[in-house]
Chains A and B, each alone.
Chain A
Amino acid sequence: GAVVSQHPSRVICKSGTSVKIECRSLDFQATTMFWYRQFPKQSLMLMATSNEGSKATYEQGVEKDKFLINHASLTLSTLTVTSAHPEDSSFYICSARVNDTYEQYFGPGTRLTVT
């Protein structure tokens, strides 16, 4: 089956710094990837849609200047949390849509803790 990886799996950073999270489709090409956020004991909320070669589209209420998304290749999308604050601490999960079949597969998630 199709595999999506995320790196890192866990990251701790200090308030005010920036953190980059990678989402990779390992054995398929994905023009479109999605980024989700999950706060403790909450469900997953879609943050943005990442499109290879074009700007990401953000859901209402998500700050595009704070959550920078770059989808530079057909297998890699990155989410950069800029000037992180403790309230950005969350579980970030990506999904990738297979170009040929339109199936979507989820990554294992990245737990971000901002101190």
Chain B
Amino acid sequence: KQEVTQIPAALSVPEGENLVLNCSFTDSAIYNLQWFRQDPGKGLTSLLLIQSSQREQTSGRLNASLDKSSGRSTLYIAASQPGDSATYLCAVRRRDDKIIFGKGTRLHILP
């Protein structure tokens, strides 16, 4: 059974700092891993998707890495801004196409 864990559950950092969110998963037989952003009461915004054969993906100030063998992924956010405040969800897509989500990290960027 695939389990996805995200650490920390919540994080507050001053504006401008770089930060790392962590995600771990128990079964390395994955199709891909995806990071989402969710604002309160809203749906999901896809940030980065890493295929199982890839090691990292970058988009603007965001960089996501994947180490499938160790069951870990990190989302690096550079030069954080108040607008980055949201819940960040890590999700693993299994080979049967089912997507398993972590519980998320609630990020608060302090102005």
Show the binding face of A for B, using Cβ within 8 Å: 32, 34, 36, 42-46, 49, 93, 95, 97, 102, 104, 106-109, 111
Q: List 25 A-B contacts (CB under 8 A).
A: A34-B97, A42-B103, A43-B101, A43-B102, A43-B103, A44-B44, A44-B89, A44-B101, A45-B101, A46-B99, A49-B97, A93-B43, A93-B44, A95-B99, A97-B97, A104-B93, A104-B97, A104-B99, A106-B43, A106-B46, A107-B43, A108-B42, A108-B43, A109-B43, A111-B41
When distances are taken between beta carbons in the complex, the residues of chain A under 8 Å from B100 are: 46
Q: How many B residues touch A, CB cutoff 8 Å?
A: 16
Say whether, besides A108-B43, A109-B42, A109-B43, A102 and B101 are in contact (CB < 8 Å): no
Given contacts A97-B97, A104-B93, A109-B43, 7 further A-B contacts (CB under 8 A): A34-B97, A42-B103, A44-B91, A46-B100, A95-B99, A106-B43, A108-B43
When distances are taken between beta carbons in the complex, the residues of chain A under 8 Å from B41 are: 111
A93 to B37, CA, bound (A): 14
Q: Does B98 contact A (CB under 8 A)?
A: yes
A97 to B93, CA, bound (A): 12
User: Closest approach, in angstroms, between the C-beta of A9 and any C-beta of chain B?
Assistant: 9
- Mask for B3-34, Cβ within 8 A of A = 1, else 0? 00000000000000000000000000000000
A46 and B98 form a contact (CB under 8 A): yes
Residue from A44, A93, A97, A106 having most chain B Cβ neighbours under 10 A: A44
For B100, give the chain A residue with the smallest CB separation. Answer: A46
A97 to B46, CA, bound (A): 15
